[in-house]
Structure 1
Amino acid sequence: MEVNLGNDLINLRNQAPLVHNITNFVVMNFTANALLSVGASPVMAHAVEEVAEMVSHAGALVINIGTLSGKWIEGMEIAMARADALHIPIILDPVGAGATSFRNESLQRLLSVASPTIIRGNASEIMSLAGQQVQSKGVDSTGFSTDALTAAQSLAKKYACVVSVSGATDVIVGEGKIAYLRNGNEIMTRVTGMGCASSALAGAFSAVQNDPFLAAISAAAMMGVAGDRAYELAQHPGSFQMSFLDQLASLQPHELEERASVEFEYV
C-alpha cells in the first residue's frame, strides 16, 4: 500500500487546518501546543451555545471524554451532529472507557449521534468500547495494543470507521487492512496527555488527508518518530515533554519518511 507520510506533513503545514477540540481540562494546554507545534490551528470550545457554529469553520472535530460533565456531553452531541451533517471528520477519544457506567453511557449517547471517522484509544478503552470485559485502571490501559485487534476490527466494522490503538506497537485498523507502527518510547506513558495529543494530531491529519486510514497512520507516525527523537535529547518526563513539542515543530517530511516503521497486513 502506498503511504506518503512526508506529503501529509507538508500539506498539514501548508494548510494549517483549524482543529476543533472538545477535550478535557487536564490536557487542553498540551494538546493545543502539540497542534500548534505540528502546524495546525487549535481551538478549544465546548459551550453548547457555540459548538455548532465553531465546528462549521473547522477541518476536523476531536471529541475527548477525559473530564466529563452533563453540559459537555450535550455540547459534544451538538458538535458531532453538525460535523456529520457537514462531512467534517470526527475523531473520538474514549478516555477511560469501561472505568465507570457514566463514561460508558456517555459514549453510547455520542455514538448514537454520528459514527466517528476515527476512534483512537488505548487497548483497554478500545476493548471496553467493543463490549469486552476489561480490568479497569482509571484512564490507563491494562492491556497491550495487539490484544485489542479483534475489538478494533469489530468497532471498525460496526461504525464503518478507522480504529487506531496506541501502545508499544500502534495498531491501526481499516477496511480489509491493518497497519502496525513501531516507533515511540516508553517514557511517553509517563507524560500526561500523550494519547490525547495523538487524537488531536489524527484530527489535524484528517483535515488534509481524505483517507482516514492514511491520516491515522500519519498521526501515529508523527507521534512515534517525534517521541523517538525527543528521547535522544531528554530522558526525563519534564524535559521530554518540552523536547517532544520541539520535535513536532522541527521534524522534516523526509525525516518522518525515513524513521517511521510501518508494516501492513491485509485481511
Structure 2
Amino acid sequence: MEQIYELFNKIKDKQPLVHHITNSVTMNDCANAVLALGGRPVMADSPNEAAEMAAQSSSLVINIGTLAEETVELMLKAGKAANEKGIPVIFDPVGVGATQFRSQSAKTILANIDCSIICGNMSEIRALAGLPSSGQGVDSGDSMDGAEELAKELAGELKATIAITGAIDAVSDGERTVRIQNGHPMLASLTGTGCMTNSLIGVFAGTENKPFEAAAAGILAMGLAGEKAYRHLAANEGAGMFRVRLFDALSTLAVEDLKKGARING
C-alpha cells in the first residue's frame, strides 16, 4: 500500500501521457478517466503515427473491444515501438474466447509484444490460459473461484502482471498476489468500466514502471471511485448520474481515500 500511495502522489507531477489504441465504444470515457486521475490521454490509431506516438508516451494501452485486422497490425507496430523504449504496455483482451478471430488476435499480440500488464475478466483470462471459458460476448460467465491461483500461474507463464477483475479482484506477478475487495455492483451497469480501469492502470504504470503496483492501484482507484459515486447518488438517481458521479469521484480521489477505504489482502 505504501508503494501505491507513492505512485498516486507522483501522478500530478509526472502527468503521464497514456497512449490508447482502444475500442470506439468507450474511447471518450477512457480519455476522461485518464484526465480525471491526472494523466494525459492520446488516442492515436492511425498506422501512420501509432508507433511514433507510442515511442514518446509514458504507457500504451491496447484494447481489442472493437476489433479489425488493420487494428491488430497497428497494435503490433505500437507495441513493438513501446517495447524498444521500455515503455509499459497494458493489454485488455476484451471478449477473448468469444470468437476465433479475437482469440487468434490475442495470441498474435502476446507472441509479438511484451505486455507488462494483462487485465481482463475471469472468462477472458481463462481463455488466454487455454482453459474452458463461459464468456458471453464481452461479459464474463465464469465465477471468480480460483482467480488468485490462475493469475499467479499465468503471470509466471507470460512473464507479466495478471489482473482478473470481478466481485473480488485478483492481481499477481507470479510472486506476489493480492485480492482487492473494493467496488460497487453499479459499476457493471455502465459500458466500459473495465476499459476505464485499464486506462487508470496506464496512468499509474506511466507514472512509474512498476507493473504489479500499477495494476493494483488502477483497480483500487476504480473500485473506490465506484463506492464514492454510489454514496453521492440521490434517491431518484440511477445509472446516468452514477456515470457522472464516477468521473467526479475519480477527479477528487485523494490519497486519504486510499488509506481509509482500501480493502486489499495479500
TM-score by length of 1: 0.95
- CA drift of 1:175 comes to 2.6
1:125 matched to which residue of 2? 124
1:250 matched to which residue of 2? 252
1:148 matched to which residue of 2? 147
2:193 matched to which residue of 1? 194
- The alpha-carbon distance between structure 1 residues 145 and 14, as it changes in their structure 2 partners (threshold 3 A), is farther
CA distance in 2, matches of 1:164, 1:12: 21
The answer as to whether partners of 2:179 and 2:265 remain within 8 angstroms in 1 is yes
- CA drift of 1:8 comes to 1.5
How many aligned positions are there? Answer: 263
Divergent runs of 4+, >6 A: none
2:88 matched to which residue of 1? 89
- SS for the counterpart of 1:104 is helix
1:238 to 240, 246, 254: 240
RMSD, aligned CA: 1.2
The answer as to whether partners of 2:124 and 2:135 remain within 8 angstroms in 1 is no
TM-superposition CA deviations, 1:80-102 (whole Å, max 9, x none): 11111111000000000100000
TM-superposition CA deviations, 1:102-126 (whole Å, max 9, x none): 0001011111112210000001000
Aligned pairs for 1:55-134 within 5 A: 55-134=54-133
- SS for the counterpart of 1:4 is helix
1:168 aligns with 2:170: no
TM-superposition CA deviations, 1:116-158 (whole Å, max 9, x none): 1000000100001100011231000112334433332232112
CA distance in 1, matches of 2:80, 2:220: 29
**Runs of 5+ in structure 2 lacking a partner?**
none
TM-superposition CA deviations, 1:147-185 (whole Å, max 9, x none): 433332232112111001111111001132211111100
The answer as to whether partners of 1:146 and 1:171 remain within 8 angstroms in 2 is no
TM-score by length of 2: 0.96
CA distance in 2, matches of 1:91, 1:31: 13
CA distance in 1, matches of 2:68, 2:3: 39
The answer as to whether partners of 1:152 and 1:165 remain within 8 angstroms in 2 is yes
- CA drift of 1:70 comes to 1.1
